[in-house]
Copies of this chain bind each other. A is one copy, B any other.
Amino acid sequence: MNTKVACIGTGLIGGGWVVHYLARGYDVVAWDPDPGALPRLQRQIAAAWPFVTQLGLAPGASLENLRFASSLAEAVSAVTFIQESAPEILHIKQGLLKEITTFAPRDCIIGSSTSGLSMTQLQSDVHFPERIVAGHPFNPPYLIPLVEVCGGEQTSRVAIETASAFYRQAGKAVIQMDREVPGFIANRLQAAIWAEAMHMVAAGEATVEQIDAAVVQGPGLRWAIYGPCMTYHLAVSDGGIDKLLQKVQEKVYMSNTRASLPDLSTQLRQRLVQGCLNLQGNFSHAELIQQRDQQLVNILKCKTPTP
């Protein structure tokens, strides 16, 4: 039997999930209380389908595998997995999750697309809360691989593991978080850069146009390849991140930021250095730089200017 997923809420993110699951060859049952939801979803699918097709559809993938349910109860009654993507408003999501858990098979895992609400709060008044996890995607979910998986206080370990396995099977890059962190990981990092950008615009230090150009022509290209830790590790040819942290401590580096810096304790330095060494693995510094440069060339060759 084909994997069958319910997508509850079909706005920008929920609709993006519909596209993703369809592209993976799954059966999808969608539901949204908004009367205009279906035509809007159809427009979104029509716009996105050529792109997932370019990336390669799974065997059996078809737009025919989508059904729009007429009720929530019908939508969740016989599915393998439920993806909830309601508006990011606590009481709305709480009410919807309670309804979902009323009608869904008891053992069906529910992933919430919440980007910033607490799973512990979201699951506080549902049936069998142990099977609800946050499965936070990035826009557009049919192209950006990342899903952050995180449980609340009542979520079972098994549900977290099962949801992670489900998302991996569905082609996503899963980060399974060990504890509930408000905003998860990537949104915290995004919020930091966005806060600094707003400060710079407010202070007249830079314009929106300068900020976006700076990222797109500069560090953004690298962040598509290496994250912030490895970027700095590779930026210091002789000594890597350990030497960079020395410079931070001596205030030769990072002295220009509005952001507060954590105390650079021995433990933090060890964690940062060891993490980079783990990522480096058996590759030499020179080999990692070669890999980075090849990927940068690939990206630069396929990039066309955007606003």
A289 CA / B43 CA spacing, docked (Å) = 13
A241 nearest CB neighbor, chain B only: B208
Q: Which B residues lie within 8 Å of A198 (CB)? A: 261-262, 264, 268, 272
Could you tell me if A256 and B196 are in contact, using CB atoms closer than 8 angstroms? no
CB-based nearest B residue for A176: B210
Quick one: given A214-B146, A271-B207, are A195 and B261 in contact (CB under 8 Å)? yes
Decide: A307 near B279, CB < 8 A? Known: A198-B261, A218-B138, A227-B216.
Answer: yes
B residues in contact with A211, CB < 8 Å: 185, 189, 227-229
A202-241 interface with B by 8 A CB criterion:
202-230, 232, 234-237
Q: Mark A240-256, 1 if CB is under 8 A from B, else 0.
A: 00000000000011111
Chain B residue numbers with a CB within 8 Å of A272 are 198, 201, 208
> In the complex, which of the residues A89, A139, A183, A215 has the most CB atoms of chain B within 10 Å of its own CB atom?
A215
A224-B221 CB under 8 A given contacts A116-B255, A268-B202, A291-B306 = yes
CB-based nearest B residue for A199: B262
A165 within 8 A of B: no
Question: Which candidate, A46-54, A74-82, A119-127, A155-163, is the interface stretch facing chain B?
Answer: A46-54
Q: Which of B139, B144, B183, B192 contacts A195 (CB 8 A)?
A: B192
Residues 36-50 of A, flagged 1 when their CB comes within 8 A of B and 0 if not, give: 000000000001100
Q: Which of A24-32, A61-69, A101-109, A292-300 has 4 or more CB atoms under 8 Å from chain B?
A: A292-300
Instruction: Please give, as numbers and ranges, the residues of chain B lying within 8 Å of A199 by CB-CB distance.
Output: 262
Residue A288 is within 8 A (CB to CB) of chain B in the complex = yes
Residues in B with CB closer than 8 Å to A217 are 144-146, 173, 175
With A260-B195, A307-B279 as known contacts, state yes or no: A212 contacts B226, CB within 8 Å: yes
Q: Contacts of A304 on B, CB cut-off 8 Å? A: 291, 295
| A261 CA to B191 CA, complexed, in Å | 10
Query: A73 at interface (Cβ–Cβ under 8 A)?
Result: no
Residues of A near any B CB (own CB < 8 A)? 11-12, 47-48, 51, 54-55, 88-89, 116, 138-140, 143-146, 148, 173, 175, 177, 179, 181-183, 185-230, 232, 234-237, 252-265, 267-268, 271-272, 274-276, 278-281, 283, 286, 288-304, 306-307
Instruction: For A268, give the chain B residue with the smallest CB separation.
Output: B202
Complex CA–CA separation, A194 to B212 (angstroms): 18
Smallest CB-CB separation from A255: which chain B residue?
B116
Task: Identify 22 residue pairs between A and B in the complex whose beta-carbon atoms are under 8 Å apart, listed by A's number.
Answer: A51-B293, A88-B253, A116-B256, A145-B218, A148-B214, A175-B210, A191-B196, A191-B254, A195-B259, A195-B261, A201-B268, A207-B275, A209-B279, A212-B226, A212-B228, A215-B223, A216-B226, A219-B223, A223-B224, A224-B303, A283-B307, A295-B303
Query: Contact partner of A140 among B189, B293, B302, CB < 8 A?
Result: B293
